Amino acid sequence: MRKILLKCYLFTLSRWWQWLKNLHYFQMLFQSLSSMHWRVWQRDENSKVWTQDIARYPDAEKKLIHLTKWLETIDKEFIYAMYQKIQLIADNNVLEYTKIFSTKEEKEQKAFAKFCLKYPTPYFGIDKISSWLNIFYAMTLSRIPYVKEYVQNKIILDCGGYIADTALTLSEKLSPKKVYTFEPNLENFNQARKTILDNSQQDIIIPIKSGVGKKNYQAIISQWGAGSKILDGELGEKIEVVSIDNFMKENKGKVGLIKRDIEGLEYESVLGAEKTIKEDKPILLISIYHSWKDFFEIKPLLESWNLWYIYTFFRWNCFHPFADILLVAYPKDN
């Protein structure tokens, strides 16, 4: 009986080993194919809708010229490259990998992946997007001149706080007086409070259960984790929305930095912070990829206020052809 069991065991082990060898060969084959650029990228429904909206935006070419006005050459090239990709994706369901990712972007992907492996384990860990965003914002801050000196002992407004992941990064890197992190989704808000307590940051980071917009009002928000957003329908969680100007009337202090990633309400929230921006001239980190209005019109709006800001663009998700574009604006002089 023992011999039979031993034979069965050895037979199973051999099959298992063969499967591992095959898996290894499959990985090698896949890497070879990848290196030969035989990969393809398939758009999802969100990418289809968003790219088609931008590609058909009224006077898009004129808006593009206005958007890139006064930019450094590298930023102009970046915006035009993004726009060309958007037009290409709008008309194609599947594209060859090399048509939507340049050699430079592939190098960025490898560098980012390498950087992630070396980066210290984040203090939160409930999902991967938090780790990536944490790393990206840390990298972004390092590229803004005098950022720590400018923000130190001032107020940071973290709009779209999610689980307070970015709030922790901003607090750690910039030593602000306070960080108000706005998160309207109840589940995310509760997790944000836990994150803050777990990291003993309750004296610095203050969670606010609210969305941010042009004015104060009530709205409905979807239940979709990091991508929760305000809806037109009646199904969802009822929330409060506040304008930054109204919020700062009740919470006195000088604002040094405002970060916005609020799923398409970025333009409205900028309008709701006009007084604060004009008076305090905070550094601005604004996601502009959620809607064509954000993409084309936020920078020209800020320029119309004569703030004398420097504008540049970063992107945290170099693995997506056009998403996660961040407009960075900061005063010329400290």
pLDDT in tens, 84-138: 888 888 888 888 888 888 888 888 888 777 766 666 555 444 455 555 666 777 7
More confident of the two residues 269 and 7 = 269
- Looking at this protein, which amino acid is placed at residue 33? L
The residue ranges of every structural domain in the chain are 2-36, 48-331
- The 10 Å Cβ neighbour count of residue 218 is 9
pLDDT higher than 70, residue 19: no
> What is the per-residue pLDDT for 130?
58
Fold classified for 48-331: Rossmann fold (3.40.50)
First to last CA, the chain: 83
Most confident range (mean pLDDT) of 58-67, 92-101, 228-237 is 58-67
pLDDT higher than 60, residue 311: yes
Q: Are 173 and 148 in contact (CB under 8 A)?
A: yes
> What is the per-residue pLDDT for 16?
47
pLDDT higher than 80, residue 73: yes
For the chain, where are the alpha helices, taking DSSP H only? 2-35, 45-55, 60-67, 73-90, 97-100, 103-118, 128-141, 147-151, 165-174, 186-198, 244-250, 266-271, 274-280, 292-303
State the Cα angle at 163 between 159 and 166, rounded to 5°. Answer: 55
The predicted-structure confidence for 150-200, as pLDDT tens digits, reads as follows 999 999 999 999 889 889 889 989 999 999 999 998 989 999 999 899 889
More confident of the two residues 56 and 18 = 56
| Phi, then psi, of 220 in degrees rounded to 5 | -115, 135
- The residue count for the chain: 334
pTM, rounded to two decimals = 0.83
**Dist CA 83 CA 101 (whole Å):** 13
Q: Report the range of poorest mean pLDDT among 118-132, 137-151, 241-255, 280-294.
A: 118-132
**% of the chain with per-residue pLDDT over 70:** 78
The predicted-structure confidence for 252-261, as pLDDT tens digits, reads as follows 899 999 999 8
Burial class (CB in 10 A: 0-12, 13-18, 19+), 173: middle
Spatial CA neighbour of 42 closest among 94, 85, 92, 96: 94
290-327 burial: b if 16+ Cβ within 10 Å, else e: bbbbbbbbbbeebbeeebebbbbbbbbbbeebbbbbbb
**Dist CA 184 CA 160 (whole Å):** 8
> What is the per-residue pLDDT for 258?
98
